[in-house]
Structure 1
Amino acid sequence: MSEPLNPEQLRSFTPLNVLSEQQWRELRSQLVPQHLLAGQLLFRQGDQARTTYYLLSGELLLCGVDGQEERLQAGTAVSCHPLSPSLPRLHEARALSDASVLALDSATLGRLLTWRLAYQDLLLELAGNGEDTEWLERLLENPLFTKVPPANVRAMLERLHPIDLPADSRVLVEGESGDCCYFLKSGRAEVIRGADSARQVLAELEIGACFGEEALLSDQPRNASVTMIEAGVVLRLDRQDFFSLLKAPVVDEVSFGEAARLLGNGAQWLDVRLQDEYERSHAQHSLNMPLQLLRLKTRLLDKGKTYLCYCDSGKRSASAVFLLSQLGFSAYALRDGLDALPPIQRDALLCESGPGYLARSGGRTERSH
């Protein structure tokens, strides 16, 4: 199998040349050349696969809908642009010699480019003022921020309060109420649940990580503690600013009718209540993934699916949608939860013992009782 290409080998390709180092790392698994034999077809006219192709080596023949032919040689100015980018394809592409191409998922590439162009001016402005922008760049590359308007990000930056913390200091304490969230600007921190013999390290936070938001969204006590492993700086964002600048554009809510339409297009219910609540009644064919376990179990979810999250009041499902958005999933919350549904809709949605699925450790999904 070929080794992935490095960014320096791809800097001549447009618009790949505007991507950041972090974005190149996100694309790394796709940066493997696809080899073609002379005469082999790459794509046909009318092809609608959402793939962006670049010619790396060799020669291709492009045949247009009008029968006009164009020979494309690697290394030329024309070959530095995507091959027949319009969908459906306007050309057939066939290798005239042994060749290689780079095939990138168009949706992923589009997301990265949109982010880069939307925030490039802001990052340049901050860098010009002598500020370290690494933490912000890494924060903004979170899929969550594809939904946050640049104006909101600018306003958020003005309202962040920096706090210098020594090693071993606690930023969050499990069980306390939450009135803010934080971003890690520098240093290292870890997320811990429990104490003494029950103490469990859940994760180490990376620069740019957002934490503490789950207590705000669910209006519940902190479900874990966060401790600095080494000295660093955290940035505090107050509750009101979090809701107006981040939660509002990120957490998409749908009505029962809109949820039914999405289900018809392949979406799946995701019940984020406790297992006991789920087993008393749940939506048929829904997957149970309690909110407190969601971050640990998202590996069981499919990023190609749309998830419809529900709970009783809508608060836990809002938390779930925010978390799933951070991880690059498509998700919606049932507006105001099950409690807001009229009895006829609630009865239509919930069943006492219909098909359901529980997400288990080890990657297993099993039928509920």
Structure 2
Amino acid sequence: MKRATLFAGLTDEERTVIVKHMRLQHFAAHELIYAEDDASTAFYLIEHGGVRLSVGPVALATLGAGATFGESGVFLGRRRAVSAEATTDTDAWALASADLEQIIQDHPAIGLKLSRNFGSRIIQVEKHLIQNRLRPAEALQGLTDEELQELAAHLELLDVGAGSPIYQAGDANDGFFILEQGQVQLRSATGERDLQPGDVFGLAATLADKPYDATAIAQTDATLWQLTREAFETLAAEHPEFAPHLSAGLRTPLPVSDEELAIERLRALPLFTNLDDHTLRAVTQRLVVRPIAAGDIIYKEGDVGDALYLVDKGRVEIVGSVSRKGQVLARINAGGFFGEMALLTGKPRSTGARAAENTVLWALYRADFEELVNVYPVIGKALSQVLQDRLGAAGHAFVEKHLRLISLFSGLSVEQLEDVAERLLPARYRAGDIIYKAGAPANRVHIIEKGVVELRGPEGALTLRDGDFFGEEATLSGEPHLETAFAKTDGEFWELTREELEALILKYPIVGLNMSRELSRKLHRRIQQQAALGVQPAPAPAPAAPAPTR
């Protein structure tokens, strides 16, 4: 083994580990050891004798004592590319593939040395890398199995001598690192941290494409895996979800080098305009970096408002409805912000947001914001003032956007519509969904904001569109539905419970009148549809205006 190139650099202890798993095998002269296209189950070290390697009738090489053969197929996970035949009586030490894999799982350094001697990364090291370094890493939990495989394929092995810097604070970013073996210390303005094998470092700067904000020093000779900046950008381009998945669930803090810029940008928000630098710095230390791939949805209309966002790089589009590819209402470029009102009020998002290009956001999440309010009372005072100034305008905008065109609420004032808005529940249905079935209990009215619904009952089918409502007859009567309601397209709805509907009719009689008119129109449309199909409609009494219980 000491003379074999494949085992060069191994310590006596490492060679002993391998020898314990080797088995001596005897081959008679001209005995076939393995044939082309056989499975690669072991590789061999010749003790004495000779072995001829061939492809078909062509002899490629004849090996003697001290030579290894069969390792290529084992190391690369491929079937045999050549045949091997003993030229004389031969003894050879065999190391099975399964034993090699176990050795490298238990002693990764052996695998790294075999890889270097072989000239490329061997498959057993690849498995160790994925199973023991990448998959357990908390920082990489957002990656899919396919993305972990791609990441492993792009990682490069790096040796660093004791006392040498891996990078220094302020250095241009050249990717992130995973410690394989040795000791590394991170030194930053906030203190020092000793890293353990498997720890990931330099990731925040890589995701933000910023200089490193700490210094990484090898305390001992260390071996690292590095994803270079170039390899990161290649992966992000070939797999658009890679960077967002890499940051998913990972609270990547804002680099210290960006704090001054973040303070400047926060001052542009009315909530933070009058705060002192000390308080603003505390806010910046709660900001989280979120890379978003071009075209990805940041949030949808109706989602819980859990964060406000500042755009560090890229561009974001604010849209009326993400699911229906609604009209672009605004474009937010680097330095801008969005999402603050939903964070402040806790109400569902009234619009959607998507990345128009590869984008890096700084997010302030609700939980962090609430902690800041508790620690810094001045933020709470500023919040109260902003809400007082803006909620009225926001409520008016909501009414104009969502409720003004719904026939059930025709004739109500802005103030009355704002009262209605407080009672509505948002809902979404996809094309083909059954909203309710005939015979099912009725407990709410469904109002179509966007979409197409078909009602199918004993009297035929009726198609309803934006602004229409349905389910009101059964809801008010307390009887089961007489028809089945299908969503013919993806749709966005508002729902009103029986109790809230009765309260509105009692408070605003015009709602009852609107409902009576719509019942008459609906009956007329159904008769017209039946006539067009040549169906004789059954006689039906004219609908009466609903009379709520007083």
Structure number with bigger Rg: 2
| TM exceeding 0.5 | no
Structure with the bigger RCO (C-alpha within 8 Å, sep 6+) is 1
TM range (shorter): 0.3 to 0.5
TM, length-normalised to structure 1 = 0.39
TM-score, normalised by the number of residues in structure 2: 0.28
